Amino acid sequence: MIYLTRKIEFSASHYYWNPEFTPEENRRVFGKCANRHGHGHNYVLEVTVAGEPDPVTGMVLDMKELKQILEREVMEVFDHKFINQEVSQLDGKIPTSENIACIIWTLLEGKVPGGRLHHIRLYETPDLFVDYYGGNAAR
């Protein structure tokens, strides 16, 4: 079993706001992130696929095909978007890295050819990132 990882980057903006909180509570809990004009990040996403190398190609999966899937399922949804207003998959959720990672998993699961989606890592900044291995908390 080999784990193959591809890294991509997208630029998006977001803010944190829970409508059941008062404005003061939002500012206390979320700090600067509660600014409803939004602010942004260069998100870096690592997508890891597990599989056996195909003896004919030596590859776990076709990287060109993976790149197209990431373009269609992730980049078109998130890149150069204001997540709170333009990514309907996160409606009603606070667009933290935790929640974005879970949504990206859902967007990719079952679409990876020749392998199995194993892991995604999402960097919000170089100093803050989340890892997700799917619903089966197995690890």
Q: Which of 4, 103, 104, 108 binds its own copies (CB under 8 A)?
A: 4
For residue 102 the two structure tokens come to 């879970």
The residue among 35, 45, 64, 51 whose CA lies nearest residue 2 is: 51
CA dihedral defined by 10, 70, 136, 50, rounded to 10 degrees? Answer: -120
- Active-site annotation, residues: 33, 80, 124
Q: Does 133 help bind its own copies (rule: CB under 8 A)?
A: yes
Nearer to its own copies, 73 or 95 (CB): 95
Q: Does 91 help bind its own copies (rule: CB under 8 A)?
A: no
Q: Which of 27, 59, 89, 107 binds its own copies (CB under 8 A)?
A: 59
Q: Which of 70, 77, 102, 104 binds its own copies (CB under 8 A)?
A: 102
Q: Does 58 help bind its own copies (rule: CB under 8 A)?
A: yes
Q: Does 132 help bind its own copies (rule: CB under 8 A)?
A: yes
Q: Does 69 help bind its own copies (rule: CB under 8 A)?
A: no
Q: Does 96 help bind its own copies (rule: CB under 8 A)?
A: yes
For residue 106 the two structure tokens come to 């859902």
Element (H, E) at 132: strand 128-132
**What's the one-letter identity of residue 120?**
I
Write b or e for each residue in 117-130: b if 16 or more Cβ atoms lie within 10 A of its Cβ, otherwise e. Answer: bbbbbbbbeeeebb
**What's the one-letter identity of residue 64?**
K
Site residues (vs its own copies, CB under 8 A): 1-9, 11-14, 16, 18, 20, 29-33, 35, 37-42, 48, 53, 56-60, 62-64, 79-82, 85-86, 93-99, 101-102, 125-133, 137, 139
